[in-house]
Chain A
């Protein structure tokens, strides 16, 4: 756990997303699965965009994927992040289900070594006692 004071903005869960962030705290990557048609969805929502069912359950996904796109931030106008530049943010496309993409930092990897399609896996970073952020590291 990071023992210094965490000064970056933290997610503010809402009724749709609370379970996702609760899952992260338990080091599980949870997404919704529709009980009507089986479609997985992220970001969380109250209705299925395929069959309009409002019935769903939370399921854990494996947390492995590939880099779909990425950026290296060299300048940030926000003090919370400007001390970290250059840092990497990626869209990760999950292996299963492939329809889900998540945004996150790439860690344990030099910025110049990041490439399209690079396999990554989730790592959970307990940034405060209450909040855990999923980040992504290269799969060995």
Chain B
């Protein structure tokens, strides 16, 4: 069977400053992050012939970026209208374009003014009552935090997961962010701080929610052959998956999500797709050295740790509380601080952190001898993830 394993590599990483007020346009952020990724690879805009991005109508298109950067020719591009189901799948799609010969060297980016512009948490968004949202928005289920709180409650009902355990996710991320100069929040966080933080939507407290952030990040990818001669040691894409399970439903609307058809809210499609993800990479969950797990809210990594096979179903909360995912544990998780503390660049910052750890240039937050990383985007009725190696 055809396999994309090790055929494409990440060769450049580019970030802008992450902040709560960038003071510049999203286009400006996109161009800066893309140029930084090209520079990091030691290449020029003339070497780039493809661009891929995902957004929810809050960003700029590949055409705009190609024009702004002055690309001689854009041979291939895609603008995926997506939530964080695009976080790793956009990279995966771009890799397929390279393997298929549609482009040689592709920029993949996500740029957003997520605090001063479109706030995905719901503030400032007008309410929609068409499509799936006609069945939930009239009752005041209007935001993503509320939709995910419904998942958290279900996990608590089924498995006895606690608010303390969700707090342990927030603390783990914060400990890592303290070591990360790019992180938007770096002050120490205690479990008391978490437990005393205001309830946003029970069972989620303020510190169960990620940081609304202005910023952008980009990676440059190319064929493994080409990658060998470039400035940094290549980070290879071993495998990736992106799909949906039985009756995943319409699942998200303009401002919120609602899963009336999904069989069990406390499980994700990752539970099904993980075997293909690991199988195509030729590894098992035991081989993963670092995990950058999509963490828009603290419950999400707990469910993913179970569904990607790092612990038994229902034991994700206890697993985190045991310290297993702290930087000195056996599966360091969200080593940059995650969306909860580094910042919310819609999950794409997880891809860069995974690559940075594997290159060994993560500075103070470097995990020793990291060879294989699991990076996930949103995982629920739909899911997406990639496995990277150095």
Contact = CB atoms under 8 A, between A and B. Distances in A.
A43 B129 contact: no
A133 B140 contact: no
Nearest to A42: B260
Which secondary structure dominates where chain B touches chain A? loop
Contacts of A77: 119, 121-125, 143
A75 B247 CA distance: 31
Query: For A42, A69, A135, which residue has the most chain B Cβ atoms within 10 angstroms?
Result: A69
Interface string A93-106: 00000001111110
A71 B135 contact: no
Contacts of B136: 89, 103
A14 interface: yes
A11 B150 CA distance: 21
Interface residues on A, range: 35 or more
Nearest to A17: B134
Contacts of A8: 138, 140
A81 B121 CA distance: 15
A75 B138 contact: no
B141 A89 contact: yes
Contact of B201 (A74, A101, A103): A74
A78 B125 CA distance: 8
B269 interface: no
A24 to B, nearest CB: 11
B4 interface: no
Interface in B124-174: 124-125, 127, 129-132, 134-143, 146, 149-151, 153-154, 157
Contacts of A81: 140, 142
B260 A43 contact: yes
Contacts, number: 110
Contacts of A102: 135, 260
B260 A75 contact: no
A43 B135 contact: yes
B142 A76 contact: yes
B198 interface: yes
B276 interface: no
B267 to A, nearest CB: 13
A103 B139 contact: yes
A71 B129 contact: no
B24 interface: no
A85 to B, nearest CB: 9
A36 interface: no
A73 B146 contact: yes
Contacts of B141: 71, 89, 103
Contact of A14 (B127, B130, B201, B247): B130
Interface of B: 119, 121-125, 127, 129-132, 134-143, 146, 149-151, 153-154, 157, 198-203, 247, 250, 258, 260-261, 265
25 contacts: A9-B127, A9-B129, A9-B137, A10-B138, A11-B129, A11-B138, A12-B129, A12-B130, A14-B134, A49-B247, A71-B141, A71-B146, A71-B203, A72-B202, A74-B198, A75-B200, A76-B143, A77-B121, A77-B125, A78-B122, A78-B142, A89-B139, A102-B260, A103-B139, A103-B260
Interface of A: 8-14, 17, 42-43, 49, 68-78, 80-81, 84, 86-87, 89, 91, 100-105, 116, 133, 135
Given A11-B137, A81-B140, 7 more contacts: A43-B250, A69-B153, A77-B124, A77-B125, A77-B143, A103-B139, A104-B139
